[in-house]
Structure 1
Amino acid sequence: MTAPSTAPDVLIIGAGPAGSACARVLARGGLRVRIVDQHPHGRDKTCGDGLIPDAHKALARLGLLDEVMRLAEPVAHVACIGPRGGRVDVPGSLAVLPRKVLDALMLTAAQAAGAQFEQARFEAPIEEDGRVVGARLKRGDELVEVRADWVVLATGAVPKALTAAGMCERHTPSGVALRGYVKAPQMVGKIKALEVVWDKAVRPGYGWIFPAPDGHFNIGVGVTDSHKDLNGKGRKKDVNLRAIFDAFVEKYAPAAELMRVGEKVGEGDQWLKGAPLRCTLTGAKWTRPGLLVTGEAAGSTYSFTGEGIGKAMETGMLAADAILAHRDDDAAARAAYEASLTTLKPKFDLYERANRVNAHPWLADLLIWRAQKSPRLLKRMSGVLNETSNPGNLVSIKGFSRLFFE
C-alpha cells in the first residue's frame, strides 16, 4: 500500500461509524482528512446491526440514508417479549444491515467526500509542549509518524488505544455481547420485528433476533452490566455468554426453531463472535489538547439496550462540528465538543436507570402487560425508541404509579 503523502489537517483513528461519520463531515467542510484503521476496508464488527431512529437521523444528515435503506432489511417494530411470554410491538423507523456492509459503505462515503484511508495501527500520540500533534502508526513492520492539527480517536470499546493516548479511565467494558448469523429463508415472515427477549434464563441480560437481508437473521445475547468497577479497573462478574446464549435458544421457541431449521454462517464455534461494550459516555476522557475521543471509545453505547450505532455516528459528527467551528482555537473546540456530549449525557443516564429491567425481568412483564392495555403507554414506549420520551420514567416509582392510575 502506498501511504498518502500530504499531511492531514485531521487524523482519525478508527473507520467504524463514528470515525467515518466524522471524516465525511470534516472532508465536506473542506479539511484534509486521513482515516486509518488496523483492519482493511470493509471490516466486520460484532453487533446486533439494528438501526433505530437515531441512526436514521444521523444517516440522513450524512446523505446516506437512502443508500443504506436500499441495502437494509426494513423493520416496523421492536417486539418486547417478557418472561411470561407477553409481547408488545413498539413502532418505529427501523432497519437491519450487517456492520460489514454498513461500515464499508460509510468509509466509502467518507472517501467520496475527499478523506484518505490507509490500513495502519495506532501506536501512540505525538506530543509537543503538552499538545497532541499527530500519531505514531504501524504500517506492516514500519513505524511512521503522521503529523496533524487534530487527532480523533474513534477506536471502539477495546481500551488499548485509549490507554496509549492517556485517555482511558476504565479499562474493563460496561457490557459484553455475543452474536451470530443464521441463514433461514423459511423463517422470513415468521420473525419480522426486532425481537428483544427478557427472561430469568438470560438474566442479567437479554436475547435478540433481528431479521437481516437475504433470509439471514442476527441472533445474540447481551449483558450491559458485566463488570464490577473497582477503582477504574474492574473485574468480570460471573457471566458466561455462551451459557446465556444456549439458555436463550432453549427457552425461546422462535430461537430454537431458527437454530433447528437454519444454517449457521461461519465455521464451527467461530460463527458466534463476542465483543465488549462501552456505555453511558463514561470510562474515558473526552478531550485533551489536540485530541478528541468519540464513538464507543467515549462510551456512546446505550446501557439497557446495547444500541450504539446511531450515537456513535452522532458523536463523530459532533467532534467534526467542533473542529470545523474552532479549527484554530484548541480550547474553544474542546469546550464545544465537551459541551455537546454533556448535553447528551442525561439521556445516557436515563438508559442506565432503565437497565434495571435486565436485572429484574419481571419489570418487563409488568410494562408489557400494561402496554397491551394502554395506548398511551405504548405511545410513550415508542417515544423512548424515537428519543422523544424519557426511558427512565418507564421504570421509576412515578412511572410505575402511572402504569396503574393513568
Structure 2
Amino acid sequence: MSATPPPSTTAPLADPTAPATPVALPARCEVLVVGSGPAGSACATVLAEAGVDVWLIDQQDFPREKVCGDGLIPDAHHALARLGLLDQVMAQACHVSHVRCVGPSGGQVDVPGRLAVLPRRQLDWLLQRHAIARGAHCLTPVKFEGLIEDEAPATHGGGARVVGARLRHAGALHELRADWVVLATGAAMPPMLAAGLCTRRTPSGIALRGYVRNPAVVANQRTMDVVWHRDLRPGYGWIFPVGDATFNIGVGAFFDTRGDGRSVAADANLREVFDAFTRVYAPAKALMDGGEFVGELKGAPLRCTLGGAETGRPGLLATGEAIGSTYDFTGEGIGKALETGLLAADALLRGRRAGANDAAVCADYGAGVRRLQPRFALYERANGVNRHPWLADLVIWRARRSPRLLRRMSGVLDETSNPGHLLSLRGLFKLFAE
C-alpha cells in the first residue's frame, strides 16, 4: 500500500508570490483567525485585503490531508470567484459535467451541473497561500489552548469579552491579544466548548473516505456518483474522480438531529458500510478490485444544519463547520464554509468602519448566518432519503421521464431549487403530476 499521494493530490510546496512565512507570533494583532481551512482562510483573505492586521494559525502544517468528498459545486465556485482564486483552483481541479444519482434498484439519472473535484490537501493549501499573498500573516503548527478574557464584564453583549488567545508554538505557551478572535476550527468540538459556544456535543454524522488509483476504470468513471441503498442506511456512498486515474471513494452516515434516530447512525460501523458499498455497487467493486489505495481510509465527524453552536460572543466569532456549515443529506460543506468565512469578515469590516460595538458586530454576523438557515432546514428534510433510500428510486424513476424534474434536480446544485421541496408530500405528489 502506497502512503504517498499521486501528483494530482499533491499541491506545489512553494509559492514565490507569497510573502515569507513568519517564525514568531506577535504580542497582539487586530484579528486572530484560528483554523486555516476554507472558512478561516477565506475570512483572513478578505480582512487582509482591507488592510486589517490579521494572523492565521492552524495546528497542522500545510499541505495536509482532510477527510472530505472534495466536490466543488456552484456555491464554492461563487465564493472562490469572490476571493479571486477560482481560475487557479479550476486549473488544478478535475472538471465533471454530471452527478450520477443511483437508487437501490439500480436505476440512475445523470444530473448536469458546473462541478469540479479537488482534494482538500490541494484546495486548502491554495486557500491558505492565497490569504498570505493577500497580506495575512500565517504560522503553523500552532495549537489553540484557550481564550483570554477581559476581567471586566463586556460593556455590550453578555459575558466577559474575549481579548485574545493562548497558543502553543514550538513547545512554548504564547499569549496573543487581539481585537477579535475568529474560530474556524472545523468539526472538532474542544475549541468551541472552551469558547462556550457549543450547544450540541454530538456530531451530525460521520464519513469515511479513501483515494484509490485504478487506470482501468477511467474510461467508465467520469461522473460524480452518489449511491443510495438499503445496505448503506442511514447514508450513501460516493465515487468522485480527482484526476491521474485516482478516485475519492467513501461513505457517510447521518444522524437524525430532529428526533430520536441518532442511534442508527451512531452505531454504524463505517468500515462495514464501506465494504457493503463495494459489494452492492458494481463500479465501486470494479474500482477496488483492480485498484491500489493511495494513503489510508480515514474517517471524520460531520457537523451540519447550522445547528449545535452559537455564532459568537463579545470579541469572538465562530465560522465554518464549527457552526455546522455542512449540508445534511449531501454532506457538501466546502462552499458554505467559504461563505460563512466571508460573512464573518464582512461583519468585522462593517463594524470596523462604523465603530460598532461588540453586540452590533455579533448581531450583524448572526443575521447573515441566519439568512442561510432556511436552505439548511430543507436539506435536513431531504435527509429522509438517507434513511429511506426507496425515495431515491422514486425521484430517479420520475426524473428519467421528466426533463422539468431533471432541471429542478440540477437547480439543487445551482441553489436555484431545494431538495426538501422535492421530498415534501406536495413535492412527491408533483412528481406524478409533471
TM-score under structure 1 length normalisation: 0.96
Q: Percent identity?
A: 61
Q: Distance in 1 between matches of 2:279 and 2:431?
A: 32
In the alignment, does 2:245 pair up with 1:215?
Answer: yes
2:167 — aligned with what?
A: 137
Task: State the shift of 1:142 in Å.
Answer: 1.0
Once the two structures are superposed, the pairs formed by residues 217-296 of structure 1 within 5 Å of their partners are: 217-225=247-255, 237-266=266-295, 271-296=296-321
Query: Would you say the 8 A contact 2:206–2:299 is kept in 1?
Result: yes
Gap regions ≥5 residues in structure 2: 1-21, 153-159
Residue type of the alignment partner of 1:156: G
Match of 2:416 among 388, 394, 397: 388
Q: Distance in 2 between matches of 1:117 and 1:95?
A: 28
Task: State the shift of 1:353 in Å.
Answer: 0.1
Q: Distance in 1 between matches of 2:54 and 2:89?
A: 23
Deviations 1:175-196 (A, max 9, x none): 0000000011222121111100
Moved over 3 A (4+): 226-230, 233-236
Task: State the shift of 1:390 in Å.
Answer: 2.0
**Structure 1 residues 352, 227: closer, same or farther in 2, change over 3 A?**
closer
Q: Distance in 2 between matches of 1:236 and 1:229?
A: 13
Residue type of the alignment partner of 1:45: K
Query: Would you say the 8 A contact 1:173–1:227 is kept in 2?
Result: no
Query: Would you say the 8 A contact 1:83–1:361 is kept in 2?
Result: yes
Query: Would you say the 8 A contact 1:126–1:132 is kept in 2?
Result: yes
State the Cα RMSD in Å. 1.6
Deviations 1:290-327 (A, max 9, x none): 00010000100000000000000000000000000002
Residue type of the alignment partner of 2:64: R
Q: Distance in 1 between matches of 2:129 and 2:433?
A: 52
2:55 — aligned with what?
A: 34
Deviations 1:158-182 (A, max 9, x none): 1011011111111111000000000
Task: State the shift of 1:5 in Å.
Answer: 3.0
Task: State the shift of 1:333 in Å.
Answer: 1.2
Residue type of the alignment partner of 1:59: L
Q: Distance in 2 between matches of 1:113 and 1:248?
A: 43
Residue type of the alignment partner of 2:307: T
Secondary structure of the residue aligned to 2:196 is: coil
Task: State the shift of 1:140 in Å.
Answer: 3.0
TM-score under structure 2 length normalisation: 0.90
Query: Would you say the 8 A contact 1:54–1:310 is kept in 2?
Result: yes
Secondary structure of the residue aligned to 2:368 is: helix
Secondary structure of the residue aligned to 1:212 is: strand
In the alignment, does 2:197 pair up with 1:176?
Answer: no
Task: State the shift of 1:332 in Å.
Answer: 1.6
Once the two structures are superposed, the pairs formed by residues 56-95 of structure 1 within 5 Å of their partners are: 56-95=77-116
Q: Distance in 1 between matches of 2:307 and 2:410?
A: 26
Query: Would you say the 8 A contact 1:228–1:237 is kept in 2?
Result: no
Gap regions ≥5 residues in structure 1: none
1:185 — aligned with what?
A: 215
Once the two structures are superposed, the pairs formed by residues 302-313 of structure 1 within 5 Å of their partners are: 302-313=327-338
Q: Distance in 1 between matches of 2:418 and 2:232?
A: 25
Q: Distance in 2 between matches of 1:235 and 1:403?
A: 29
**Structure 1 residues 292, 333: closer, same or farther in 2, change over 3 A?**
same
Task: State the shift of 1:287 in Å.
Answer: 0.8
Residue type of the alignment partner of 1:281: L
Deviations 1:323-359 (A, max 9, x none): 0000242222111100001100000000000000000
Which stretch shifts more, 373-382 or 132-141? Answer: 132-141
**Structure 1 residues 139, 300: closer, same or farther in 2, change over 3 A?**
same
Query: Would you say the 8 A contact 2:205–2:265 is kept in 1?
Result: no
Q: Distance in 2 between matches of 1:186 and 1:37?
A: 38
Query: Would you say the 8 A contact 2:101–2:109 is kept in 1?
Result: yes
Q: Distance in 1 between matches of 2:93 and 2:254?
A: 26
Q: Distance in 1 between matches of 2:263 and 2:414?
A: 33
In the alignment, does 2:428 pair up with 1:400?
Answer: yes
Once the two structures are superposed, the pairs formed by residues 11-50 of structure 1 within 5 Å of their partners are: 11-50=32-71
2:13 — aligned with what?
A: none
Residue type of the alignment partner of 1:121: K
Residue type of the alignment partner of 2:413: L
Residue type of the alignment partner of 1:212: V
**Structure 1 residues 293, 96: closer, same or farther in 2, change over 3 A?**
same
1:53 — aligned with what?
A: 74
Q: Distance in 1 between matches of 2:410 and 2:378?
A: 16
Task: State the shift of 1:6 in Å.
Answer: 6.2
Query: Would you say the 8 A contact 1:228–1:235 is kept in 2?
Result: no
Deviations 1:384-405 (A, max 9, x none): 1110012211100100110011
Q: Distance in 1 between matches of 2:406 and 2:238?
A: 20
In the alignment, does 2:360 pair up with 1:316?
Answer: no
2:373 — aligned with what?
A: 345
**Structure 1 residues 234, 39: closer, same or farther in 2, change over 3 A?**
farther
Residue type of the alignment partner of 1:30: G
Secondary structure of the residue aligned to 2:187 is: coil
Report how many residues are paired.
400
